């Protein structure tokens, strides 16, 4: 019995070392606060390219059946109307949880790269500081992509409108960088957790696995929109807005929650 017990302990420890960690266990414990109430867009404000802040052209952002939808059934053509739905508060240290899925067909006139493409913008500028015709807020984008039925297409990537990030100690100026996630085809729901620690380490987690890590998000001093946001030479981003994208393919969010973290 003693030998068997020792073997069982060794086996249990070995399994614990190699077993995948559940997503909920991979981030700090805390209270989840819903940013989307499942009923309406209270707390959220749209900004669509070419329109004034608060004008929700074509009822692009709406709530139906408890789901926050990005829809284009009132569009004849996309026409470069890139949109972002901004939450009212800024955040610095937190974990954001999203449940999303792509549905239907891309609206006519949408760019090819925007097929099953959306995102959530973090450390973003305020919507009030955007120009009327600005396509994207200066921010760090967690790019959300869906598969086309065949082939590989990672999700929870990073794109950097007006920004840069640091990876492995090196400044990365490439606009989009792929994660190591698997591909999610069809209309399935996908859960992404994003841990953000101010100007420190950020990571993206899917199915209990960290698929992307970076740090030191910062403004690109060569970008026209970002240059306006640099004050006293301060380029580093420590906080900012959160916004959900509309890029021409219908997408739904059934959960948007945040867990606030201590700044320590």
Is 18 a domain residue?
no
Q: Which residues of 66-85 are buried (b: 16+ CB within 10 A; e: fewer)?
A: ebbbbbbeebeebeebbbbb
Residues 185-222 pLDDT 10s: 999 999 999 999 999 999 999 999 999 999 999 999 99
Count of structural domains within the chain: 1
Is 1 a domain residue?
no
Per-residue DSSP letters for 177-189? Answer: E--S----BTT--
How does DSSP classify residue 40?
Answer: -
Is 16 a domain residue?
no
Q: What is the CATH number of the domain that holds 200?
A: 2.60.120.560
Domain span including residue 256: 23-260
Task: Find out whether 137 and 119 touch, Cβ atoms under 8 Å.
Answer: no
Identify the pLDDT of residue 26.
Answer: 63
Identify the pLDDT of residue 21.
Answer: 43
Is 15 a domain residue?
no
Is 7 a domain residue?
no
Identify the pLDDT of residue 12.
Answer: 43
Identify the pLDDT of residue 13.
Answer: 41
Distance from the Cα of residue 124 to its chain's centroid: 11
Is 193 a domain residue?
yes
76 vs 105: CA distance, rounded Å: 13
Q: What is the mean pLDDT of the chain?
A: 92
Is 170 a domain residue?
yes
Is 150 a domain residue?
yes
Mean pLDDT, 10 residues at a time, the chain of 264 residues: 42 41 63 98 98 98 98 98 98 98 98 98 98 98 97 98 98 97 97 98 96 98 97 97 98 98 88
Identify the pLDDT of residue 28.
Answer: 81
């Amino acid at each position: 019995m003693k030998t068997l017990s020792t073997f069982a302990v060794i086996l249990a420890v070995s399994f614990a070392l190699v077993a995948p960690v559940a997503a909920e266990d991979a981030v700090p414990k805390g209270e989840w606060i819903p940013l989307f109430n499942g009923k309406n867009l209270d707390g959220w404000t749209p900004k669509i390219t070419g329109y004034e802040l608060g004008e929700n052209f074509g009822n692009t952002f709406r709530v139906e059946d408890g789901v926050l939808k990005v829809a284009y059934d009132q569009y004849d053509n996309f026409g470069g109307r890139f949109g972002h739905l901004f939450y009212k508060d800024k955040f610095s240290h937190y974990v954001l949880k999203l449940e999303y899925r792509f549905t239907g067909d891309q609206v006519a006139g949408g760019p090819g790269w925007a097929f099953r493409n959306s995102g959530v913008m973090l450390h973003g500028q305020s919507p009030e500081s955007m120009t009327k015709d600005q396509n994207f807020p200066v921010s760090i984008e967690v790019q959300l992509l869906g598969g086309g039925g065949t082939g590989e297409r990672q999700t929870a990537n990073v794109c950097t409108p007006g920004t840069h990030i640091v990876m492995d100690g090196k400044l990365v100026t490439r606009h989009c960088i792929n994660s190591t996630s698997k591909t999610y085809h069809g209309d399935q729901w996908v859960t992404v957790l994003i841990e953000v620690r101010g100007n420190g380490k950020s990571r993206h987690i899917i199915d209990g696995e960290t698929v992307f890590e970076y740090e030191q998000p910062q403004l690109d001093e060569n970008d026209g929109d970002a240059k306006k946001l640099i004050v006293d030479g301060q380029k580093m981003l420590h906080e900012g807005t959160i916004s959900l994208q509309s890029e021409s393919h219908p997408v739904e969010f059934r959960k948007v929650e945040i867990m606030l973290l201590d700044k320590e």
